[in-house]
Amino acid sequence: MQYPEPIAKLIDSYTKLPGIGIKTATRLAFYTIDMPEEEVTSFAQSLISAKRDLQFCSICGNLTETDPCVICSDKNRDQSQVLVVAEVKDLMAIENTGEYRGLYHVLHGVLSPLEGKGPDDINIESLVNRLQKDETIQEVIVATNANAEGEATAMYLSRLLKPAGLKVSRLATGLSVGSDIDYADQITLIKAVEGRTQL
């Protein structure tokens, strides 16, 4: 039996989300149909607002409503440290610990030769430009995931930045190998930041 077109389109839309297969998408579609109309409207408006009202910070690459973002605009933060993450969700995970008070830089990906992602495909050039312009930055903390791509990105950044006289460090092994930063608990993230090692 074929679903009516509006349901089929809704199911198809849900399957475009990561980790959502056809069965889960079907359940979500029917759940959405059973929701009160005002909740569905609010949900739809949230999706539209997130897409229209957010932009990337011109300094660090974080998602923000205003440019520069609130983190880059906060002069009370430690201006001598920049913590480099692969994705905005990693920045949020570390920021939610409340322990790190420096600045950030979001790469929007990692080096992955198998997927054809090289240095020009992620936000490395803007990091280099930022470090050349801002002499107050003394340390770059690389906080990529502890997997092959994250390690390759960390080593690349270390070789690229160390000749400029910057201290380049890596999150400590409080993060288990192969794990993703955004799934780690706050204590693990705090220990990882505190116990970072120099590359």
**What confidence tens digit (pLDDT) does each residue in 20-40 have?**
999 999 999 999 999 999 999
Order the strands of the 197-198 sheet from edge to edge. 102-106, 78-85, 139-142, 167-170, 197-198
What gap in Å lies between CA 141 and CA 191, rounded to an integer?
A: 14
Q: Phi and psi dihedrals of 112, rounded to 5?
A: -150, 90
124: closest CA among 61, 193, 172, 71?
61
Written as six digits, the tokens of 176 are: 């288990």
Taking CB atoms within 8 Å and a gap of at least 24, the contacts of 70-74 are 71/95, 71/103, 71/104, 72/103
pLDDT band at 123 (very low <50, low <70, confident <90, very high): very high
Query: Which residue did the predictor score with more confidence, 46 or 184?
Result: 46
**Residue 173: its pLDDT value, please?**
64
**Residue 160: its pLDDT value, please?**
94
What gap in Å lies between CA 110 and CA 92, rounded to an integer?
A: 17
Instruction: Give the Å distances, CA to CA, from 172 to 8, 196, 198.
Output: 47, 4, 9
pTM assigned to the model: 0.81
* Percentage of residues of the chain with pLDDT beyond 70: 97
Report the mean per-residue pLDDT for the chain. Answer: 92
Count the alpha carbons within 13 Å of 61 in the hemisphere toward its beta carbon. Answer: 23
**Residue 119: its pLDDT value, please?**
93
List domains and CATH numbers for the chain.
5-53 (1.10.8.420), 63-198 (3.40.1360.10)
pLDDT above 70 for 174: no
Sign of CA dihedral 59, 60, 66, 71: negative
| Residue 59 contacts residue 69 (beta carbons within 8 Å) | yes
